[in-house]
């Protein structure tokens, strides 16, 4: 007698088992000599070794298909189980459709929706540090959090650390009441929103209570060594040169990091420069560090956001051109620039 346990952590169990266990019943009918039990996100197989191995292989094909496509009809389910020659044609259909990042609560499918979001997912497999820079609405943070959740579910890391610089975006919030968590939560709300989409509330509360998922301001990273972790620095354009260097040197040997930011929305005081542009520039060409530049084509918010970004970019180019013309005029007149 041989036993095997198969985990369904990377797919939606409801999609695998079917409504009222309709697909699970097909699985049991296909392997009548096996005892097949389901418990939560696990399947337990018991029987002769060759039968267990065969069933395990078929279930692996089903999981692989679901990971890639997010949906599996009963016909395909039955077809994959019935392929006696081991042909995986049905499984590898849409081979390049590897845009599913993770499954959220109630079977919600979290996908990489644009080419650059898919590129983020692809390069994360081979690189330990990724710079994802682009305008608002391009899904930088959301995709990064999805990749972190996937890594945690796949046990590639032991914890997720999400951090942002606590910089006010143009308005003075003044003295915030409450404890430390209540003071910093307004700055970190976008990260909570992404997590709410991807992890059931009870499990998310467990993860946070046990520090498996940690959300903290950038300043609290100083002095730490972040190992066996997936670390996301969000809104990195609001970190100074020294802060970004500090963050990058916290990364441990078995960790991954994604740094996201929008260089057109720096909220630092006028006498402070953003460290993101410099870090992205001087870290080019280093093996293990990838750079993704997102643009208006990656915007996944309201359709008008693309037009808004395009208008601001056009106006910025016009202002820069005007400044250059003014400088040229001052040089011709032999006068210092008017600052």
In degrees, rounded to 5, the angle at the alpha carbon of residue 229 between the alpha carbons of residues 228 and 231 is 155
Residue 303: the pLDDT is 66
- CA-to-CA separations, 339 to 321, 327, 335, in angstroms, rounded: 16, 10, 12
Ranking 105-109, 136-140, 193-197, 200-204 by mean pLDDT, the lowest is 105-109
Question: CATH topology of 2-92 equal to that of 100-298?
Answer: no
Query: Which CATH code, of 3.30.1370.10, 1.10.760.10, 3.40.50.300, 3.40.630.10, is assigned to 2-92?
Result: 3.30.1370.10
Residue 90: the pLDDT is 39
How far apart (Å, rounded) are the C-alpha atoms in residues 176 and 185? 10
Give residue 185's pLDDT band: very low, low, confident or very high (50, 70, 90).
confident
**CATH node for 100-298:** 3.40.50.300
User: Is the dihedral angle over the CA atoms 211, 217, 222, 227 positive or is it negative?
Assistant: positive
How far apart (Å, rounded) are the C-alpha atoms in residues 248 and 171? 29
Mean local confidence (pLDDT), 303-320: 80
How far apart (Å, rounded) are the C-alpha atoms in residues 325 and 297? 31
Give residue 329's pLDDT band: very low, low, confident or very high (50, 70, 90).
confident
Ranking 72-86, 194-208, 227-241 by mean pLDDT, the lowest is 72-86
Burial readout 131-160 (b: 16 or more C-beta within 10 A, e: otherwise): bbbbbebbbbbbbbbbbbbbbbbeeebebb
Residue 212: the pLDDT is 95
Residue 85: the pLDDT is 40
**118, 279 contact by CB (below 8 A):** no
**38, 24 contact by CB (below 8 A):** yes
Asked whether the predicted pLDDT for residue 133 surpasses 90, the reply is yes
Strand order in the sheet with 289-293: 213-217, 159-164, 229-233, 256-261, 129-133, 289-293
Task: Note the pTM of the prediction, 2 decimals.
Answer: 0.65
How far apart (Å, rounded) are the C-alpha atoms in residues 182 and 202? 20
Q: Which has more pLDDT, 167 or 298?
A: 298
How far apart (Å, rounded) are the C-alpha atoms in residues 100 and 198? 12
Residue 41: the pLDDT is 87
Q: What residues does each domain of the chain span?
A: 2-92, 100-298, 302-339
**134, 264 contact by CB (below 8 A):** no
């Amino acid at each position: 007698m041989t036993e095997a346990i198969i985990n369904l952590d990377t797919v939606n169990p409801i999609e695998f088992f079917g409504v009222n266990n309709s697909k699970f019943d097909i699985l049991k009918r296909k392997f009548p000599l096996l005892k097949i039990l389901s418990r939560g996100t696990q399947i337990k197989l018991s029987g002769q070794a060759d039968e267990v191995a065969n069933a395990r292989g078929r279930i692996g094909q089903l999981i692989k298909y679901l990971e890639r496509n997010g949906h599996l009809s009963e016909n395909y389910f039955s077809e994959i189980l019935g392929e006696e020659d081991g042909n995986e044609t049905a499984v590898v259909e849409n081979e390049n459709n590897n845009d599913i990042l993770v499954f959220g609560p109630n079977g919600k499918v979290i996908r990489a929706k644009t080419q650059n979001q898919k590129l983020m997912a692809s390069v994360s497999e081979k690189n330990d540090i990724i710079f994802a820079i682009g305008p608002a609405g391009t899904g930088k943070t959301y995709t990064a959090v999805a990749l972190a959740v996937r890594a945690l579910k796949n046990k590639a890391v032991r914890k997720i650390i999400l951090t942002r610089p606590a910089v006010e975006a143009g308005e003075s919030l003044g003295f915030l009441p409450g404890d430390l968590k209540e003071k910093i939560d307004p700055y970190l709300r976008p990260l909570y929103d992404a997590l709410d989409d991807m992890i059931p509330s009870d499990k998310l509360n467990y993860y946070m209570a046990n520090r498996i998922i940690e959300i903290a301001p950038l300043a609290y990273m100083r002095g730490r060594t972040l190992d066996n972790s997936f670390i996301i620095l969000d809104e990195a354009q609001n970190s100074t040169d020294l802060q970004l260097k500090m963050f990058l040197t916290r990364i441990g040997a078995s960790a991954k990091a994604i740094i996201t930011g929008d260089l057109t929305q720096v909220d630092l005081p006028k006498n402070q420069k953003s460290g993101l542009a410099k870090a992205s520039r001087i870290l080019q060409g280093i093996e293990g560090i990838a750079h993704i530049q997102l643009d208006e084509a990656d915007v996944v918010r309201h359709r008008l956001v693309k037009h808004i970004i395009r208008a601001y970019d056009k106006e910025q180019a016009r202002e820069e051109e005007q400044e250059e013309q003014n400088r040229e005029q001052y040089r011709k007149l032999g006068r210092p620039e008017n600052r």
